[in-house]
């Protein structure tokens, strides 16, 4: 059974600081997703990582994938308040297109 773990579960950081969210998973992956969820809202797709060594950046967020270590990271650079949200990683595995979600990381950026 695929297990996906994120850490930290909760992150409070000051504006302007850098931090990394980690996503570990237990089996081989077909692809890995990062999503953002604002309170009361659905999921917004941030990144889709398809292969080992993939790195994608959008604004202050950068995601990477190491399939050998079964690890993905979401790096936040110079955080701003608007980044406050819950971030989920999700792993698609087994060729069935269904994904397993991580526990989520609730990010709070303090002005």
Closest among 42, 33, 19, 50 to 101, alpha carbons compared: 33
* 22 forms part of the interface with other proteins (CB under 8 A): no
Q: Which CB atom, from 46 or from 83, has the smaller least distance to other proteins?
A: 46
Among positions 11, 79, 85, 90, the unique one binding other proteins when judged by CB under 8 A: 90
* 92 forms part of the interface with other proteins (CB under 8 A): yes
Q: Which CB atom, from 31 or from 70, has the smaller least distance to other proteins?
A: 31
Closest among 9, 51, 3 to 25, alpha carbons compared: 3
Q: Which CB atom, from 22 or from 77, has the smaller least distance to other proteins?
A: 22
Please answer whether residues 109 and 83 qualify as being in contact, where contact means their C-beta atoms are separated by less than 8 angstroms. Answer: yes
* 104 forms part of the interface with other proteins (CB under 8 A): yes
29-68 footprint of other proteins as x/- string (CB under 8 A): --x-x-x----xxxx-x--x-x------------------
* 95 forms part of the interface with other proteins (CB under 8 A): no
- In the sheet with 61-66, reading across from the earlier edge strand, the strands are 4-7, 19-25, 71-76, 61-66, 55-58
Report the C-alpha gap between 56 and 40 in whole angstroms: 27
């Amino acid at each position: 059974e695929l297990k996906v773990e994120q850490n930290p579960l909760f992150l409070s950081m000051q504006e302007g600081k850098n931090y990394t969210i980690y996503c570990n998973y237990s089996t081989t992956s077909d692809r890995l997703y990062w999503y953002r969820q604002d309170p009361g809202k659905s999921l917004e797709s941030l990144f889709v990582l398809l292969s080992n060594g993939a790195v994608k950046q959008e604004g202050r967020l950068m995601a990477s994938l190491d399939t050998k270590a079964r690890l993905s990271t979401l790096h936040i650079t110079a955080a701003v308040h608007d980044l406050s949200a819950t971030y989920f990683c999700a792993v698609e595995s087994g060729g069935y297109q269904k994904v397993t979600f991580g526990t989520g990381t609730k990010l709070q950026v303090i002005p």
